[in-house]
Amino acid sequence: MDLLQRLGRALDRPLFPWKKLIVGFSIAQYLFEGFLSLRQYQILKQTKPPKVLQKEVSQEVFDKSQAYGRAKAKYGLISGLYGQIQNTAFIYYDVLPKLWSLTGSWLLRYAPARFSGEISHSIVFVLTFIVIQQVLSLPTSIYKTFVLEEKFGFNKQTPKLFVEDILKGQMLAFVLTPPILAGFLAIVQKTGNKFFYYLWMFGAGLQVFMITIYPITILPLFNKLSPLEPGELKTGVEGLAARLKFPLHELYVIDGSKRSAHSNAYFFGMPWKKHIVIYDTLIEKSEPEEVVAVLAHELGHWSLGHTTKLFGISQAHFFYIFALFSVFINNQSLYQSFGFHKEFPIIIGFILFSDALAPMDTVIKLLMNILSRRYEFQADEFAQNLGYSTELARSLIKLQIQNLSTMDADWMYASYHFSHPILTERLGALGWYGDKPASIPEVKVEDVSKASGREL
């Protein structure tokens, strides 16, 4: 505690150029990521697939994959620039203090006196900010869905469904944000300098709560879950779960095809009651034994304790964030750099602190990607030891083709961005070198599927 307080006093230096420092970090990060994208773009200009895939991937599919990768890279650069311009403009034109003042005037004019405190003000501010961010993100979101994804056959969304999803997302924000934010702020206000201990416990409890309610109240707003029908696939999955003593409670199919051709499979739930969800597109495009192999990989994460370890790491990360926040929460020089000279709202301090923490978050992201790739290799090996080596390799290759996923990557770009090893690395670890071609049906552009959510 004393160390954190001394550090807080040392960092609270009048006239310290926090604004220039944070903007500089942000621009440097964008330029670095742009540099990595340009390196990757050179890989996406290659005309021949990697040697291990030459028997599996036709020239036509490889060319489409490269074109899709280049289109996404261009989109990423432009959307990143758009976001960078927004962020810089918000900072230099003092949007935060102006928005704080505006939302405060709304409360004074329209709300009862009991809602004039900092918590009510912060809730109105954050909800207004969410709406503004949603509106500003519409151009890039519309382009990605109805131009880029449409061009390569991925998009299945109608404009009506697109708008409905936005409205549902905003509704969830307006329902969930007030109680969560009120709890966050009340803890900081009432627990003194040790607030980060209580925030950490609050965050852990909130995670467990969200894991519990997500499949019951949130997921049904966007997708329909149906029990998997009896057959070879259900028998295979239930047999795998029984073999591993996985506490399977329900086995569902999700109608992912109503939005896109993307496919995935995952599990969720409490330690004693798990649910497995398989996308209908994955079932449609794969043989039953290949889907079981995919789930053998996913359940490998569970059996090897990866999900528990990652939950523990996330808790340590939360504690580290909240502890550092205690260093900055009373830093008046930080507030004043961004136009807050008389009021020092907690939520504003947290937003500015998050911006200041961005360089460290980049390092943590890199380290987490390294750990995640290691876990992916371990889960592949787990499935291999269960006897699914060939089926998993075929499934990975098939998904790669159906996804038009990038088939090779620049090492520096992959290290920074990828949480999963590239396909050639995974096939090599599985002992697959293209000498036994997988039986893969001809893939049309309109039939492609891309792993979404938690990828394999």
**Which pLDDT value is given to residue 447?**
39
One-character DSSP codes across 276-321 = EEEEHHHHHHS-HHHHHHHHHHHHHHHHTTHHHHHHHHHHHHHHHH
Tokens 């569970």 belong to 302
What pLDDT does residue 111 have? 87
Assess contact for 279 and 262: CB atoms under 8 A: yes
pLDDT of residue 434: 63
pLDDT digits (tens, 9 = 90+) for 338-367: 999 999 999 999 999 999 998 888 999 999
Classify 43 as helix, strand or coil.
helix
Q: Are 26 and 88 in contact (CB under 8 A)?
A: yes
Options 56, 380, 391, 410, the catalytic residue: 380
Instruction: Indicate if 150 belongs to the active site.
Output: no
State pLDDT tens for residues 127-158. Answer: 999 999 999 999 999 999 999 999 998 888 89
> Which residue ranges in the chain fall short of pLDDT 70?
1, 261-262, 434-456
> Of 56, 149, 290, 298, which is the active-site residue?
298
pTM recorded for the entire structure: 0.86
* Per-position DSSP letters for 112-130, written without gaps between them: -GGG-SHHHHHHHHHHHHH
Q: Which helix H or strand E contains 248, and what residues bound it?
A: strand 248-254
Catalytic status, residue 298: yes
**Which pLDDT value is given to residue 456?**
59
Amino acid, single-letter form, for residue 40: Q
pLDDT the model gives residue 262:
67
Burial 406-415 (b: 16+ CB within 10 A, else e): bbbbbeebbe
